[in-house]
Structure 1
Amino acid sequence: MRAPAFWAGGGGVMPLLLAPFSALYAQATARRMARPGWQAPVPVICCGNATAGGAGKTTVALDIGRRLADRGVAAHFLLRGYGGTTKGPLRVDPATHDSTLVGDEALLLADVRPTWVSADRAAGAKAAIEGNARAIVMDDGLQNPGLAKDLSLLIIDGGFGFGNGQIIPAGPLREPVAAAAARCQAAVLIGEDETGALAQLPPGMRVLRAKLAAGPEAAMLRGQPVFAFCGIANPRKFFATLQESGAVLAGREAFGDHYQYDAGEIQDLLAQADAARALLVTTKKDFVRIPAQFRSRVTVVTVTLQWEESAEIESLLDPLAQRVPIPA
């Protein structure tokens, strides 16, 4: 899926024409969120957002999962598995499952900690707990009422913010910003606030700041020509990260979010890279959606999350870690 251009702002007639449908969407979301969720016997942490599409939820979830593991907490990841066909609950096995079954984010998470895909989040949480989870980290799910959350974080992409500020389909918002923020204990701003998103948050809401940085493999690309491609919600972020790491961007191509590549498309990208005498590079999220026979010819550049003050996220995790049940 590629988001409509008017979702980013700039006016136009489409948001006005779609406003009645947005009102119905918002009402349906509010009714759904009024239902109570199942309270798990272990802490549940949700990395969510107010908009459709990526904001950095998976990156934050990965960071929190690692921090809990460093505390000795057996955290499991839980997500819907967008782009995959399974409804779950299913524990992800990267050795046998692919992105068409479980989605691309699930494969990234499963490389770090046990990961469950489940459209029914409560059923997924129960399966994870039966699998010895002592904490659950949700990638997305802020607008899913099935599972009660102990800590919810509102993830904001500083470059996109809340788009044009309208509800789906007139804009990218899943619900009003105020409604999403009211269920969160803090917001996480990734990158600079280029759109004034923080001004739309409730007064006094706690804001944690972070930025994305290229992973260690990017050091090998410094000064090297690269042809970059990706199918993520905000391709501009990936291209900018490459340039900031010192790579020379000889070409680029953006696809829709969660795009499933076929052999012909990868062959074409390889030909363009060869013509530019450049390495073909992409994200780890895209890599799992490339036909297996081409993966040895594509370089992966990962991203890491760098907190402005890591003590702030640790302070939010402290009370939850103290509540983790001790195995019998």
Structure 2
Amino acid sequence: MREPGFWHRPPSWQARLLALPAMIYGRIATRRLARPGRRVGVPVICVGNYHLGGAGKTPTVLALAALLRKMGEQPVVVSRGYGGRLAGPAAVEPTQHSAAEVGDEPLMMASEVPVIVARDRAAGAAMAIARGASVILLDDGFQNPALVKDASIIVIDARRGLGNGLVFPAGPLRAALEPQLERTDALVIVGHGSAADALAAKVAARGRPVWRAELAPQPSSLAVLRSRRCLAFAGIGDPARFVATLRTHGVEVVREAAFADHHAYRREEIEALAATARTEALALVTTQKDLVRIASDPALADLAPSLTALRVRLVLEGDVEGFLARLLRRG
């Protein structure tokens, strides 16, 4: 979905009109948060958001997976597989599955870490353990009560924060903030900006760690793009953050196009972007997630070689490894 603009402005008449459905939705979500979950026998680390839309969960999951492997663990990601048609549980195979089957984020992550997609998180966890998981990374699912989480790590964008701070549909929050704060074990703030500072203070006041993080492009991606003028397009939670990352690292973006998160591209859309790029001698650049979605679609795969993906990794500041080590000893 494409977020309405009023979600990221002070409470407006649109938000006031939606106050009643937001109150009902918030009460249901809060009760759901309190439902007991199932323990599965290995530690479960959830990476989630307080709000709808993207903030950097997928790069955070991959960064944590790399740290856990460094510590000698065997992490397996369990994801609902948003946007995919397979109910699962199913192990994602990058050479066999498409984004339409398993979702774009699981397909992208599966090239680096084992991923199970399952709408039933408990069934997904059971498959992960059967495949040797010593720790489960739950991709999203913070508001889902199916599993007991040994730790919940919340990711937020430093520039956008919590928007207007209201519950859906009046704002972007998936539930009232206070019960979500109670279940937060650590906060990751991605990028530069002050919109998340007040939230960081609340989390820190509860004695929970707050870690800063940056999306660092791979040098090989930048080497290709810095010598070109670019047309950047993205169908992610925050396309503007993608463009800002390019510009921050010296890439000249002269045109940009934004689509809704998990957008199912039509052939004519990619062809139109490619035609503009050819006419104006621009490099056509997108995100890893978008490229995976396009390349795995048989109707679009032949267009993928004309695209360049900005490959990034999340760099976390703070004693994340110490946090994980304490958690795993407790688990």
TM-score when normalising by structure 1: 0.94
SS at match of 1:201: helix
Instruction: Tell whether the 8 Å contact from 1:151 to 1:184 is kept in structure 2 after alignment.
Output: yes
What letter corresponds to residue 308 of structure 1 in structure 2?
E
For residue 198 of structure 1, report the CA deviation from its aligned partner.
3.0
Instruction: Tell whether the 8 Å contact from 1:49 to 1:180 is kept in structure 2 after alignment.
Output: no
Instruction: Tell whether the 8 Å contact from 1:87 to 1:118 is kept in structure 2 after alignment.
Output: yes
For residue 11 of structure 1, report the CA deviation from its aligned partner.
3.4
Instruction: Tell whether the 8 Å contact from 1:166 to 1:173 is kept in structure 2 after alignment.
Output: yes
What letter corresponds to residue 3 of structure 1 in structure 2?
E
Counterpart among 311, 316, 321 of residue 307 in structure 1: 316
Q: Does 1:117 align with 2:117?
A: yes
Q: Does 1:235 align with 2:244?
A: no
For residue 60 of structure 1, report the CA deviation from its aligned partner.
0.5
Counterpart among 192, 196, 210 of residue 207 in structure 1: 210
What letter corresponds to residue 80 of structure 2 in structure 1?
R
What letter corresponds to residue 212 of structure 2 in structure 1?
R
Provide structure 2 residue ranges, at least 5 long, that are not aligned to the other structure.
295-299
SS at match of 1:82: coil
The residue that corresponds to 2:257 in the other structure is 253
For residue 197 of structure 1, report the CA deviation from its aligned partner.
4.5
Could you list the runs of 4 or more consecutive aligned residues of structure 1 that deviate by over 2 angstroms after TM superposition? 196-206, 319-324
The residue that corresponds to 2:268 in the other structure is 264
The residue that corresponds to 2:95 in the other structure is 95
Q: Does 1:225 align with 2:229?
A: yes
Counterpart among 285, 289, 309 of residue 281 in structure 1: 285
SS at match of 2:293: coil
Provide structure 1 residue ranges, at least 5 long, that are not aligned to the other structure.
none
The residue that corresponds to 1:35 in the other structure is 35
**Aligned length, in residue pairs:** 322
For residue 227 of structure 1, report the CA deviation from its aligned partner.
0.9
Q: 1:121 to 1:241 in 2, by over 3 A?
A: same
CA distance in 2, matches of 1:176, 1:41: 30
For residue 230 of structure 1, report the CA deviation from its aligned partner.
0.4
Question: What root-mean-square deviation, in Å, do the aligned CA atoms of Structure 1 and Structure 2 show?
Answer: 1.5
Instruction: Tell whether the 8 Å contact from 1:178 to 1:201 is kept in structure 2 after alignment.
Output: no
Instruction: Tell whether the 8 Å contact from 1:122 to 1:147 is kept in structure 2 after alignment.
Output: yes
For residue 120 of structure 1, report the CA deviation from its aligned partner.
1.2
SS at match of 1:59: helix
SS at match of 1:243: helix
The residue that corresponds to 2:17 in the other structure is 17
CA distance in 2, matches of 1:35, 1:229: 40
SS at match of 1:228: strand
For residue 224 of structure 1, report the CA deviation from its aligned partner.
1.7
- Sequence identity (%): 41
For residue 223 of structure 1, report the CA deviation from its aligned partner.
3.6
What letter corresponds to residue 314 of structure 2 in structure 1?
L
CA distance in 1, matches of 2:26, 2:263: 28
The residue that corresponds to 1:155 in the other structure is 155
CA distance in 1, matches of 2:121, 2:198: 29
For residue 201 of structure 1, report the CA deviation from its aligned partner.
2.6
For residue 323 of structure 1, report the CA deviation from its aligned partner.
6.1
More displaced 10-residue stretch of structure 1: 213-222 or 295-304: 213-222
The residue that corresponds to 2:297 in the other structure is none
CA distance in 1, matches of 2:234, 2:17: 32
SS at match of 2:18: helix
TM-score when normalising by structure 2: 0.93
